A = this chain, B = another copy of it.
Amino acid sequence: MTKYKVAFSGGTTVEAQPQATLKEVMNTAGINFDFPCGGRGRCGKCKIRIVSGANAPQSEEKRLLTEEELKAGIRLACITKVTNDMEVEFLSDKNIAHRILLSSLNRTAKIEPHIVKRYLEVDKATIYDLRTGWQRIKDQLAAQGEQYKNTKARVTVLRQIPEVLQSSDHKITAVLYNDEVRGLETGNTTEKLLGMAFDIGTTTIAGYLMDLYTGKELSVASTLNPQTQFGADVISRITHANQDPKGLRDLHHVVTRAVNDLIGEAVQKAGVTRNDVYAVSIVGNTCMHHLFVGINPRDVALAPYVPVVTDPLVIEPAELNLQINPAGKVFVLPNIAGFVGADTVGVLLATGLDQSEEIKLVVDIGTNGEMALGNKDKILACSTAAGPAFEGAQISCGMRGATGAIDHVTFDDDFSFSVIDDVAPLGICGSALLDTVAGLLEVGLIDERGRFKKPEEVTHPLGRKLKDRLVEINGSPAFLLAGELNSKENRPIYVSQKDVRELQLAKGAIATGIRILMQNYGLTVDDITEVQLAGAFGNYLNPHSACAIGLIPKELENRITMIGNAAGLGSQLALLSHSEYERAAKAARNVQFVELGSDPDFTTVFAESMLFPQQEE
């Protein structure tokens, strides 16, 4: 039998059997078009325009469409039959699937929400039609697509049926997750479908309220992780969870309460309600993951540092006391290992490393530095305890990257620096520490072991020019960035010998991870086409400084890209697209975790990585 060609606006062209309806053709073509009445020619909502090849209108179309519409080629996709080649135009993209664009990462993803809404006009019971209320809902759903052929529901949903059907004159909206009807709403509520993507950091929790149809970010809310009151780092929180009888419960409750508060703040900013939120996605390191879910993370702190669970988890909001629409679900991304968590999976998802042809290195720099190396065929990942130096913590004049922080330092003809918000400096943040030490190395004020040179040892011209800034503070050498008269609080701002040691440790840890991953993979720097730096700190550092101190191999300096909070972007992707979420699960399973401590070369490599690179004179 001859087949006809049907070309849809947007670029899809398929072959169709004669007499097939456009509904059937779209289904075959994988076009996710909305048929509110189930494709029975009753609601008149599946309008499309036949650009060429239109048939005479059918009686339903004459009834439901205006004279003008009919003339313009508008028809109903559910009943229009293919009788020749056709060009079909979608009138709005509202009822077809959207795509999201992550411009910072130069990639797109199809929007496919986990939670779906279907508008149903449910038949009423008569003495000739004794189907139960639930059966009539199921049958109406089945008419909307193969995937709804065997829907099921929990008793909480069955309990809604009598009231919802009666009060809505049998016009309802079903909320679905896969083949489960999760809730029933009166009337057509398909317009509202929001979700919230979270990135639960050890220090900060950030939440993004998203429109699950358009992928648009409606508002953002963030807060300090209130678990900080029980300890600043992962290990102290695990200790609290196991030493205090209420410890685990407390840690779980404060984080879920914070998430609830952020949802409240975000929906208020956007002028919507909690009840409009049907999905929540979560990334975080393995400890944050376990505490959020309510699992004791004890084993993560004990050798061999094994999580309780790495699988992706789909959880009932009630099981976490999350106050969103009870028909919704919570999607927690998978972990990889005890110290390579769902946040790293979020980074992988955002960067698309698991789909990359070329070999890339992704480093998420924070208190722990997680890194992954590879491409679609093989990915190795590891974690290093970098310590807090990159975040400006435990540094003599260290501070976060906030107003008053020296954020960049230049050793050019002379020495200069910039301050966030252009005020008198208060302290230095991680990126400036990096710049300073890189500069001191380049002008020969510190040697490759990290030792401040004596003034008489300095030979570099700029170094000699800056000699006066070499001072002694508390009996140790230091480099003065700003004297007390030039600083906001009349205290000198400097980098001490101890600060240099802290940075050495931090950069040594990450450099060790990179080198051991490369060794395990059997790669050289030449094989790596791109280095992607993620994390708040990773977004501000100067690639040249990073290479000058040996944080990143210097051969890679021109291949460094800053990608921002990639974990949070990964959380958004997983929220907006179930395919991306499933990809995350697959990627997490396929990543090979490298336990650095077990590597026979670890001690040697770490000792070497602590040194700074030798400077060219």
Which residues of chain B are near A212, meaning CB under 8 Å?
none
* A102 on the B face (CB < 8 A): no
Contact of A132 among B135, B161, B163, B306 (CB under 8 A): B306
Which residues of chain B are near A311, meaning CB under 8 Å?
134-135
Which residues of chain B are near A485, meaning CB under 8 Å?
none
Which residues of chain B are near A298, meaning CB under 8 Å?
162
Assess whether B134 is in contact with A308, with CB atoms less than 8 Å apart.
Answer: yes
Which residues of chain B are near A308, meaning CB under 8 Å?
132-134, 158, 161-162
Q: Which of A29-37, A50-58, A122-130, A358-366 contacts B (4 or more CB under 8 A)?
A: A122-130
Give A307-324 interface residues, CB cut-off 8 Å to B.
307-311, 313, 315-316, 319-320
Q: Which of A77-85, A288-296, A519-527 contacts B (4 or more CB under 8 A)?
A: A288-296
**A304-B598 contact in complex given A154-B319, A294-B155, A295-B159, C-beta closer than 8 Å:** no
| Cα A311 to Cα B131 with chains together (Å) | 11
* A356 on the B face (CB < 8 A): no
Assess whether B133 is in contact with A299, with CB atoms less than 8 Å apart.
Answer: yes
| Cα A423 to Cα B570 with chains together (Å) | 82
| Cα A298 to Cα B167 with chains together (Å) | 14
**A307-B132 contact in complex given A125-B299, A127-B595, A319-B154, C-beta closer than 8 Å:** yes
**A293-B130 contact in complex given A125-B304, A306-B125, C-beta closer than 8 Å:** no
Assess whether B162 is in contact with A310, with CB atoms less than 8 Å apart.
Answer: no
* A603 on the B face (CB < 8 A): no
Give A142-190 interface residues, CB cut-off 8 Å to B.
154-156, 158-159, 161-163
* A452 on the B face (CB < 8 A): no
Which residues of chain B are near A155, meaning CB under 8 Å?
293-295, 313, 315, 319-320
- Taking the closest CB of chain B, its distance from the CB of A88, in whole angstroms, is 39
Assess whether B309 is in contact with A132, with CB atoms less than 8 Å apart.
Answer: yes
Assess whether A158 is in contact with B296, with CB atoms less than 8 Å apart.
Answer: no
Assess whether B309 is in contact with A158, with CB atoms less than 8 Å apart.
Answer: yes
Assess whether A158 is in contact with B126, with CB atoms less than 8 Å apart.
Answer: no
Assess whether A131 is in contact with B306, with CB atoms less than 8 Å apart.
Answer: yes
* A196 on the B face (CB < 8 A): no
Which residues of chain B are near A320, meaning CB under 8 Å?
155
Give A96-150 interface residues, CB cut-off 8 Å to B.
125-127, 130-135
* B-contact 0/1 string along A277-302, CB 8 Å cutoff: 00000000000000001111011000
Q: Across the interface, name the chain B residue whose C-beta is closest to A133.
A: B308
* A593 on the B face (CB < 8 A): yes
Which residues of chain B are near A305, meaning CB under 8 Å?
130
- Taking the closest CB of chain B, its distance from the CB of A600, in whole angstroms, is 13
Assess whether B132 is in contact with A310, with CB atoms less than 8 Å apart.
Answer: yes
- Taking the closest CB of chain B, its distance from the CB of A117, in whole angstroms, is 22
Assess whether B309 is in contact with A127, with CB atoms less than 8 Å apart.
Answer: no
* A303 on the B face (CB < 8 A): yes
| Cα A133 to Cα B296 with chains together (Å) | 12
* A337 on the B face (CB < 8 A): yes
22 contacts between A and B (CB under 8 A): A126-B304, A127-B303, A130-B305, A132-B307, A132-B309, A133-B299, A133-B308, A134-B310, A135-B309, A135-B311, A154-B315, A155-B295, A155-B313, A155-B320, A158-B293, A158-B309, A159-B293, A161-B308, A162-B296, A162-B298, A162-B308, A163-B296
Q: List 17 extra interface pairs beyond A155-B315, A161-B295, A162-B308, CB under 8 A.
A: A125-B299, A126-B304, A127-B304, A130-B306, A130-B595, A131-B306, A132-B306, A132-B307, A134-B311, A154-B315, A154-B316, A154-B319, A156-B319, A158-B308, A162-B296, A162-B298, A163-B296
> Closest 8 A-B residue pairs measured CB to CB?
A134-B309, A125-B306, A162-B296, A127-B304, A133-B308, A161-B308, A132-B307, A155-B315
